[in-house]
């Protein structure tokens, strides 16, 4: 990772630059909102990236809580499989889905949940799972902060207000506050139970994510309906630009997570070495 980081950083910068060019120059100007609508290409990909990182944090936190207990680990495996099966079947059986939501999309989500769970279980150790949860929360908060900043910047010229206590906006703010609390707990608490307490908080905080996502379908909100999967429509050129920006944000976010993961791993290894040296040091030499 150390040798590859400069190359990946250059590729990330190129991709971000290309995505910015697509959003500011290539994408057509929206007829109603004008150029301010271009914030869309940064607001929405930031939200999607934050949601993905918080979701990985959620799965990693569950793994961290149950991985030391063989019975709980076995139950977790079956629950992950059960979620994939039930969500996939329920997507085609449950009829009152929001307009234009494709059952295949929901089924794919259920399978992805199980897939991410087993990938984390296979590739990350006890400490690695905890570090993964920490790093995805840190980077997720950054992207969620971008969402909360770009939203009012977009809302002011379009709605005439910076903020309203709309269910989508308020639940997003609550989600941000929960994960900021998670990071503060990890930072300032020195208890040996802090990682498990933080993992429990992350699992609790993840319950807010479905509310954020589905609020605009089930509640009357100021926030506009989604342009994909919610009865809206989007120009193909705009959709292309949106996906390019999301790819750029995902690449950049993944790079930062990987580098932060490595730093946290080195920091913990150093602390363990120092603690071991302190234990082995003769009493008279202290």
Condensed to tens digits (0 to 9), the pLDDT of residues 188-244 reads 877 778 889 999 999 988 888 878 777 666 656 656 656 555 555 677 888 899 999
Neighbour tally for 246: CB within 10 Å: 20
**What is the separation, in whole angstroms, between the first and last Cα of the chain?**
38
The distance of Cα 241 from the centroid of its chain, to the nearest Å, equals: 21
- pLDDT tens digit sequence for 54-73: 999 999 999 999 988 889 99
The encoded tokens of residue 193 equal 């139970």
70-79, 96-105, 189-198: range with highest mean pLDDT:
70-79
The CA R_g of the chain, rounded to the nearest whole Å, is 21
What confidence tens digit (pLDDT) does each residue in 15-54 have?
Answer: 999 999 999 998 888 888 888 888 989 999 999 999 999 9
Report yes or no: 216 and 168 within 8 Å, Cβ to Cβ. Answer: yes
Alpha carbons 94 and 120: distance in angstroms, whole number: 30
CB atoms closer than 10 angstroms to residue 90? 14
Say whether 161 sits in a helix, a strand or coil. coil
**Contact present, 183 and 138 (Cβ < 8 Å):** yes
Q: Which residue has the higher pLDDT, 251 or 213?
A: 251
Using CA atoms, how far residue 13 sits from 38, 65, 251, in Å, is: 20, 37, 10
Give the confidence band of 99 by pLDDT, cuts at 50, 70, 90: low
User: E strands along the chain, which residues?
Assistant: none
- Comparison of pLDDT for 57 and 99, the residue scoring more: 57
Please check whether residue 252 is in contact with residue 16, taking contact to mean a CB–CB distance below 8 angstroms. Answer: yes
pLDDT score at 97: 59
CA distance 88 to 116: 16
Q: Which residues of 209-224 are buried (b: 16+ CB within 10 A; e: fewer)?
A: bebbeebbbeeebebe
pTM of the model: 0.88
pLDDT at 5: 80
* β strands within 7-85, DSSP E: none
Q: Tell me the HSE value of 281 on the side-chain side, using a 13 A CA sphere.
A: 10
Inter-axis angle of helices 167-188 and 126-159, nearest 10: 140
Residue 186 pLDDT greater than 70, yes or no: yes
Of 92, 117, 90, 89, residue with least CA distance to 102: 92
């Amino acid at each position: 990772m150390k040798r590859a980081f400069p190359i990946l950083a250059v590729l990330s910068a190129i991709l971000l630059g290309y995505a910015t060019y697509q959003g500011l120059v290539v994408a057509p100007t929206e007829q109603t909102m004008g150029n301010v609508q271009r914030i869309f290409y940064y607001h929405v990909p930031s939200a999607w990236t934050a949601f993905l990182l918080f979701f990985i944090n959620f799965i990693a936190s569950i793994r961290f809580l149950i991985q030391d207990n063989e019975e709980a680990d076995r139950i977790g495996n079956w629950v992950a499989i059960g979620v994939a099966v039930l969500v996939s079947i329920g997507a085609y059986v449950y009829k009152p889905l929001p307009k234009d939501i494709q059952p295949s999309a929901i089924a794919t989500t259920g399978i992805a949940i199980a897939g991410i769970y087993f990938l984390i279980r296979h590739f990350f150790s006890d400490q690695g799972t905890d570090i993964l949860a920490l790093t995805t929360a840190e980077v997720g908060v950054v992207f969620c902060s971008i969402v909360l900043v770009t939203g009012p910047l977009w809302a002011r010229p379009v709605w005439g207000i910076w903020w309203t206590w709309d269910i989508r906006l308020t639940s997003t703010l609550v989600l941000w506050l929960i994960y900021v609390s998670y990071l503060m707990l990890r930072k300032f608490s020195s208890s040996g139970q802090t990682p498990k307490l933080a993992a429990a908080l992350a699992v609790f905080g993840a319950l807010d994510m479905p509310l954020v996502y589905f609020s605009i379908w089930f509640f009357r909100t100021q926030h506009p309906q989604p342009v994909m999967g919610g009865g809206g429509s989007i120009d193909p050129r705009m959709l292309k630009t949106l996906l390019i920006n999301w790819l750029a944000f995902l690449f950049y976010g993944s790079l930062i997570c990987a580098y932060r993961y490595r730093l946290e791993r080195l920091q913990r290894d150093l602390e363990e070495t120092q603690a071991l040296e302190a234990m082995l040091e003769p009493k008279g030499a202290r």
